[in-house]
Amino acid sequence: MVYIQRGRNPGLRNPKAHGRNSQSRKKIRQMLLYRDALNRIQRDLGALNANKNGQNLLVAVTGYVASGKSRFCSELLSYAEASLGRSFSYLPFDLWINVDNLNAAEYTQKFFLDDFRKMVWCINQGKIFMVPRYDIVKIGAVSRGHRCYRTAGELVWNGKLFGRIDEPIETSPLPGTSGLYIEQGSGYPYNLFPATSGTPFLLDGTMVVPSEVSQLYDLKVFVQASWTMRVARMIRRFNRREVFGTTTTAMRDYIDFLVAEARECADNEIQQQLDNEFVIVESVPETLSTYLDLAFLLSLLEQPNPPDWVSRDEVERAMTEFRLFVKEQADEETARAYKQELATLAEAQHLLALPNVKGMLAELASIFQ
């Protein structure tokens, strides 16, 4: 489920101090369940779009790592496209990852943030822009050596020289783009977005609202979640290979990296995007599988030499809160969805590598009796 609040920062605690519970639980003035939140944003988008007079519509969904942004975006796209009657151009911020700066001390330095800011301005002005393709760099689909190849159709954007690759490349172009280019200084591949008007854009990621372009957005959403739920989601993303691209890193090393990054720099820098114009979304467990994610995290903490990502008490408390939420807050439609998911989990319980999985499923089933 998701709660939503429009207005002030709801009191985020400095995540650099402890790296946990990066937001305090101040009373929220207005709270809506997931579906109601999406309906509210859908209505807002309809009104905003009506006043654009042919200009591009810019929507941003930002928030902490593993807070539930992408899931929220997938639902938002469905609602928004139904409202506006046309497709959004969806651009995830991970495309702007700078592979050469992954070990930078500051979180923002890990991205081509200057190119991203320029892109937001270009969308607002209806001009062409370039989008870097970290996804195809990571899997090696385009070699840095391509910058040495002969190219046609050179162009300059954001002070950088780009040459179009004049040979077939086995990559998936971003929808709406025209051609794959190489930035001549770095050898990095980019897609060209032609100038558009009246097009809705959804930008999704941790740093999509830098202060320099914050006022250019028509709607800004900030998704937050408890630290315990975020760690559980990090593990889920790794175990289900939902990480951006692929990774050969061991799970514990991967989560260690994300946890350290959040504690040392990322959460603090992400939080600084907030202003009074944001819609604040509180993301809480939205599926029964999330409960099993918490159970898996608890099982890791019960092993010898457990990680220090979160305490056992915090996980057990999150599991209790989950059960109470499902019991007290789920409306009829949500409860029906939970029951359907529970039936699927019961059929696949032999695939779930969790201790006492039958007991946990029975406990969840008792909620709906």
Residues 289 and 257 in one domain: no
Residues 290 and 232 in one domain: no
Pairing of strands 89-92, 200-204: parallel
Residues 234 and 300 in one domain: no
- Last residue of one domain, picked from the residues 284, 311, 346: 284
Helix (H) or strand (E) holding 343: helix 332-347
Residues 360 and 320 in one domain: yes
User: Which residue shows structure tokens 């059929």?
Assistant: 347
**Are the C-beta atoms of 171 and 143 separated by less than 8 Å?**
no
Q: What is the mean pLDDT of residues 48-64?
A: 92
Q: What is the pLDDT of residue 31?
A: 44
Buried b (16+ CB within 10 A) or exposed e, 86-125: eebbbbbbbbbbbeeeeeeeebbebbbbebbbbbbebbbe
Higher pLDDT, 62 or 283: 62
Residues 179 and 215 in one domain: no
Q: What is the pLDDT of residue 16?
A: 40
Q: At 154, list the tokens.
A: 């050179």
Residue 308 within any structural domain of the chain: yes
pTM of the model: 0.85
CA neighbor of 93 nearest in space, from 74, 124, 115, 76: 115
Residues paired with residue 281 on neighbouring β-strands, in sequence order: 4, 223
Residues 105 and 14 in one domain: yes
The DSSP 8-state label assigned to residue 311 in this structure reads -
Helix (H) or strand (E) holding 59: strand 57-63
Tens digits of residue pLDDT in 175-229: 888 888 889 888 889 999 999 999 999 999 999 999 999 999 999 999 888 999 9
Residue 122 within any structural domain of the chain: no
Residues 308 and 161 in one domain: no
Tens digits of residue pLDDT in 156-167: 999 999 988 877
- Last residue of one domain, picked from the residues 193, 219, 235: 193
Residues 290 and 187 in one domain: no
Q: What is the pLDDT of residue 82?
A: 82
Q: At 69, list the tokens.
A: 């942004």
Q: What is the pLDDT of residue 56?
A: 96
Residues 314 and 235 in one domain: no
Q: Which residues contact 328 (CB under 8 A, 6 or more apart)?
A: none
Q: What is the pLDDT of residue 331?
A: 67
Residue 135 within any structural domain of the chain: yes
How far apart, in whole angstroms, are the C-alpha atoms of residue 161 and residue 28?
A: 48
Residues 148 and 105 in one domain: no
Q: What is the pLDDT of residue 244?
A: 44
How far apart, in whole angstroms, are the C-alpha atoms of residue 19 and residue 363?
A: 31
191: three-class secondary structure by DSSP? strand
Residues 257 and 216 in one domain: yes
- Last residue of one domain, picked from the residues 193, 222, 242: 193
Tens digits of residue pLDDT in 239-273: 876 544 445 578 899 999 999 999 999 999 999 99
Tens digits of residue pLDDT in 291-349: 889 999 999 999 999 999 999 999 999 999 888 888 876 667 777 888 899 999 888 88
Tens digits of residue pLDDT in 84-93: 888 899 999 9
Residue 117 within any structural domain of the chain: no
Residue 241 within any structural domain of the chain: yes
CA neighbor of 288 nearest in space, from 251, 241, 246, 337: 337
Lowest mean pLDDT among 6-20, 23-37, 279-293, 304-318: 6-20
Tens digits of residue pLDDT in 128-141: 999 999 988 887 76
Q: At 51, list the tokens.
A: 């006043």
368: three-class secondary structure by DSSP? coil
Residues 24 and 49 in one domain: yes
Residue 123 within any structural domain of the chain: no
Q: What is the pLDDT of residue 276?
A: 87
How far apart, in whole angstroms, are the C-alpha atoms of residue 256 and residue 166?
A: 42
How many angstroms separate the first and last alpha carbons of the chain? 21
Domain range for 292 = 285-369
How far apart, in whole angstroms, are the C-alpha atoms of residue 364 and residue 360?
A: 6
